[in-house]
C-alpha cells in the first residue's frame, strides 16, 4: 500500500511540474513515506532523517542552494506527527496517509517560508476524489487501492488508529481506475486494502453494495486485463461468493495471502481475531476445493503477550497442516496505544527470537519445496521487469513466484504473458527458458491462462 501511496503522491506532484528522481541528492523535495506497523519501521525513519539532514546540509554548503524540502508522510507521520517535529525540527511538512492529496498546497506554503506544517486529519472528503486521474504508468503489474482503514482493532495492531475506520471506494471509481491502468499497460492488477475482502463498495447503478467477489467478476470482464490478485485479506471476511470466485474466475490468480497470525486458539482469542485455528484450516479446505492447487501465503506473529510454548507449537502444527507457498513472520512488537502493548504478560526478546527462527526454518523449507515442485513444469509468466544482466528479464508465475529468464530482446516481451519451462528453483525465485524458444512445435499448444496459441 505504501508503494501505491508513494505513486499517488508522485502523481499529485507531477501535475505541478515535479518529476521523480532516483538520486536523492538531486531532489528539491524529499518525501519519506513511512510505515508504523512494527517498531523497526518507525525507528528507521529517525535514522533516515538524520542521514538526510547531514547530506542536505552538505549540499547547501557546497552548492549554495536552498536545502531541499523534507516531507514525512504515511502512518508514522499520522501517529507521531508532533513528536517528529520535536525530534527533527528541520522537517518541513508532516502529512498523514489520508491527506497527501494536499501535498502541493503544503509544499507551496513551505516554499514561502512557513515552518512546521502538520496535516494529519481524517478529512470527510475521500482523498481518492481529489487525486489526479492522469498519472504515471505503473507498468504491467499495477496496484489499485479499493479499500482503506480497518474497524477490527486486533490487540496488537495500529492500523485502525493510523489509517482510520474502514472505507470502501465506489465500484464505478474502481472500474474507472482499472480501465486507466490497463490503458497505460497493466496486464495484472492487485487490489489493495488493509482488509481488502471487507470491501463493500457503492454499486454502480444503485442497489445493494458490492462485495469483493462481485467486483472481481466485473473487473475480469475488462478487455486487456489478464490477471487479478488482492491483498490483504482477513479470514473472517472470506464470504461464499469470494470463495466461489476463486473457482470461477480464471483471471483471479491461484495465490492468496490470508494472514492467520497464530495457530493457537488461546492466542487468537487474546489477539481478538474472532476465529479459531480450526476455522482457518476449514476455510483453506473450502478455498482449495474451489480452486485446486491454490497457493497460500500468510502472516504470523510470534511472542504475542501470553504466548506459551504450547501455543507456539500449535502455530507450527497449523503451518504443517496447511503448507504455505511463502509467508511473512514477525516478532510481536508493542505498538503505542494498542491493548496488547499494555498487557502484563509480555514475552522476552530471546524467546521471541528463538520462536521466530524455528518458525522461519519451517516456512522457508515449505517455500523451497513449493518452488522445487515447479521445476520441469511449464508456467505462464507475466514479464514486468528487466533483469540485472543483459538479455535477462523477470516476471511472476500465477503463484507469485519470481522467474528469471533470458532472451534476445527482453524489451519486446515486457508486459507479455509467455510460457516458461522452469529449469531451476532457488529459495526466493525460479529460473527457466521461454517455451517457444525451446520447441519448434510450441505453436501447437495454448497458454492455459490466456487461451492464446504459443507462437
Minimum CB distance to ligand SAH, residue 92 (Å) = 29
Binder of ligand SAH out of 8, 167, 291, 335 (CB under 6 A) = 335
The helix (H) or strand (E) run that includes residue 367 is helix 349-372
CA distances from 206 to 172, 176, 201, 221, 360 (A): 11, 17, 11, 20, 47
Q: What are phi and psi for residue 403, nearest 5 degrees?
A: -130, 135
For ligand SAH, the binding residues in 286-305 under the rule CB under 6 A are: 299, 301
- Positive or negative: CA dihedral 175, 176, 177, 183: positive
Indicate whether 304 belongs to the interface with ligand SF4 (CB under 6 A). no
* Between 300 and 383, CB nearer to ligand SF4: 300
* Grid coordinates given for 350: 530471546
State how far the Cα of 284 lies from the Cα of 278, in Å rounded to an integer. 10
Residue in 210, 216, 223, 301 with CA at minimum distance from that of residue 263: 301
38: partner contacted, choices ligand SF4, ligand SAH, none (Cβ within 5-8 A by kind): ligand SAH
* Between 301 and 359, CB nearer to ligand SF4: 301
Binding mask 221-260 for ligand SF4 (x = CB under 6 A): -------------x--------------------------
CA distances from 50 to 85, 93, 250 (A): 13, 16, 49
Indicate whether 333 belongs to the interface with ligand SAH (CB under 6 A). yes
Minimum CB distance to ligand SAH, residue 196 (Å) = 8
* Between 156 and 383, CB nearer to ligand SAH: 156
Binding mask 220-239 for ligand SAH (x = CB under 6 A): ------------x-x-----
Q: Which residues contact 437 (CB under 8 A, 6 or more apart)?
A: 407
State how far the Cα of 10 lies from the Cα of 4, in Å rounded to an integer. 10
Minimum CB distance to ligand SF4, residue 236 (Å) = 8
Binder of ligand SAH out of 230, 324, 330, 383 (CB under 6 A) = 330
Indicate whether 35 belongs to the interface with ligand SF4 (CB under 6 A). no
Indicate whether 190 belongs to the interface with ligand SF4 (CB under 6 A). no
Helix (H, G, I), strand (E, B) or coil at 451: coil
Minimum CB distance to ligand SAH, residue 26 (Å) = 33
Which residues of 96-206 form beta strands (DSSP E)? 117-119, 141-145, 147-148, 167-168, 188-192
Indicate whether 337 belongs to the interface with ligand SF4 (CB under 6 A). no
Choose the binding region for ligand SAH from 277-285, 326-334, 342-350, 438-446 (rule: CB under 6 A): 326-334
Indicate whether 147 belongs to the interface with ligand SAH (CB under 6 A). no
Q: What are phi and psi for residue 73, nearest 5 degrees?
A: -120, 175
Indicate whether 150 belongs to the interface with ligand SF4 (CB under 6 A). yes
- As to burial, measured by CB atoms within 10 angstroms (0-12 exposed, 13-18 middle, 19+ buried), residue 34 is buried
Minimum CB distance to ligand SF4, residue 43 (Å) = 20
Minimum CB distance to ligand SF4, residue 37 (Å) = 8
Binder of ligand SAH out of 31, 77, 157, 363 (CB under 6 A) = 157
Indicate whether 159 belongs to the interface with ligand SF4 (CB under 6 A). yes
195 within 8 A of 182, measured Cβ to Cβ: no
The answer for 400, left when phi > 0, alpha when psi is -120 to 50, beta otherwise, is left
Indicate whether 332 belongs to the interface with ligand SAH (CB under 6 A). yes
- Positive or negative: CA dihedral 418, 385, 232, 172: negative
Choose the binding region for ligand SF4 from 60-68, 156-164, 324-332, 443-451 (rule: CB under 6 A): 156-164
Helix (H, G, I), strand (E, B) or coil at 204: strand
- As to burial, measured by CB atoms within 10 angstroms (0-12 exposed, 13-18 middle, 19+ buried), residue 91 is buried
427 within 8 A of 371, measured Cβ to Cβ: yes
Binder of ligand SF4 out of 42, 56, 195, 233 (CB under 6 A) = 195
Minimum CB distance to ligand SF4, residue 355 (Å) = 19
Binder of ligand SF4 out of 27, 144, 154, 422 (CB under 6 A) = 154
CA distances from 195 to 5, 149, 164 (A): 16, 7, 12
Residues of the shown chain interacting with ligand SF4 in the complex, contacts defined by CB under 6 A: 150, 152-154, 157, 159-160, 194-195, 234
Residues of the shown chain interacting with ligand SAH in the complex, contacts defined by CB under 6 A: 37-38, 156-157, 159, 194-195, 232, 234, 259, 261, 299, 301, 330, 332-333, 335
Amino acid at each position: 500500500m505504501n508503494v501505491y501511496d508513494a505513486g499517488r503522491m508522485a502523481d499529485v506532484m507531477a501535475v505541478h511540474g515535479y518529476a521523480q528522481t532516483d538520486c536523492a541528492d538531486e531532489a528539491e523535495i524529499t518525501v519519506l513515506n513511512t510505515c508504523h506497523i512494527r517498531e523497526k519501521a518507525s525507528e528507521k525513519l529517525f535514522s533516515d532523517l538524520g542521514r538526510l539532514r547531514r547530506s542536505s546540509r552538505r549540499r547547501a554548503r557546497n552548492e549554495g542552494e536552498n536545502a531541499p524540502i523534507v516531507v514525512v508522510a504515511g502512518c508514522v507521520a499520522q501517529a507521531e506527527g508532533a513528536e517528529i517535529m520535536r525530534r527533527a525540527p528541520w522537517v518541513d511538512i508532516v502529512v498523514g496517509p489520508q491527506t497527501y492529496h494536499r501535498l502541493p498546497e503544503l509544499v507551496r506554503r513551505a516554499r514561502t517560508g512557513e515552518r512546521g506544517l502538520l496535516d494529519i486529519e481524517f478529512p470527510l472528503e475521500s482523498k481518492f476524489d481529489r487525486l489526479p486521474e492522469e498519472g504515471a504508468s505503473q507498468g504491467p503489474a499495477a496496484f489499485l487501492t479499493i479499500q482503506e482503514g480497518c474497524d477490527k482493532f486486533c490487540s496488537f495492531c495500529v492500523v485502525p488508529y493510523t489509517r482510520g475506520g474502514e472505507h470502501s471506494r465506489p465500484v464505478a471509481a474502481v472500474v474507472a481506475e482499472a480501465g486507466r491502468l490497463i490503458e497505460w499497460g497493466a496486464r495484472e492488477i492487485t487490489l489493495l486494502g488493509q482488509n481488502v475482502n471487507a470491501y463493500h463498495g457503492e454499486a454502480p447503478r444503485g442497489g445493494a453494495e458490492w462485495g469483493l467477489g462481485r467486483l472481481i467478476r466485473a473487473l475480469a470482464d475488462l478487455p486487456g486485463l489478464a490477471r487479478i490478485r488482492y491483498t490483504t485479506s482477513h479470514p473472517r471476511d472470506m464470504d461464499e461468493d469470494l470463495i466461489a470466485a476463486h473457482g470461477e474466475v480464471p483471471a483471479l490468480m491461484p495465490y492468496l495471502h490470508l494472514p492467520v497470525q497464530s495457530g493457537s486458539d488461546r492466542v487468537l482469542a487474546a489477539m481478538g481475531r474472532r476465529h479459531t485455528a480450526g476455522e482457518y484450516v476449514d476455510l483453506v479446505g473450502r478455498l482449495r476445493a474451489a480452486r485446486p492447487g491454490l497457493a497460500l501465503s500468510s502472516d504470523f506473529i510470534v511472542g504475542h503477550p501470553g504466548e506459551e510454548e504450547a501455543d507456539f507449537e500449535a502455530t507450527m502444527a497449523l503451518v504443517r497442516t496447511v503448507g504455505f507457498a511463502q509467508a511473512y513472520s514477525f516478532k510481536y512488537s508493542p505498538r503505542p496505544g494498542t491493548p496488547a502493548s499494555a498487557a502484563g504478560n509480555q514475552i522476552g526478546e530471546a524467546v521471541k527470537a528463538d520462536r521466530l527462527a524455528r518458525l522461519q526454518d519451517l516456512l522457508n523449507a515449505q517455500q523451497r519445496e513449493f518452488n522445487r515442485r515447479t521445476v520441469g513444469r511449464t508456467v505462464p509468466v507475466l514479464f514486468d521487469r528487466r533483469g540485472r544482466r543483459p538479455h535477462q528479464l523477470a516476471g511472476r508465475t500465477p503463484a507469485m513466484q519470481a522467474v528469471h529468464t533470458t532472451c534476445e530482446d527482453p524489451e519486446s516481451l515486457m508486459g507479455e504473458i509467455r510460457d516458461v519451462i522452469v529449469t531451476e528453483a532457488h529459495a526466493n525465485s525460479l529460473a527457466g527458458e521461454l517455451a517457444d524458444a525451446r520447441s519448434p512445435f510450441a505453436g501447437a499448444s495454448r497458454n492455459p491462462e490466456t487461451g492464446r496459441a504459443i507462437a
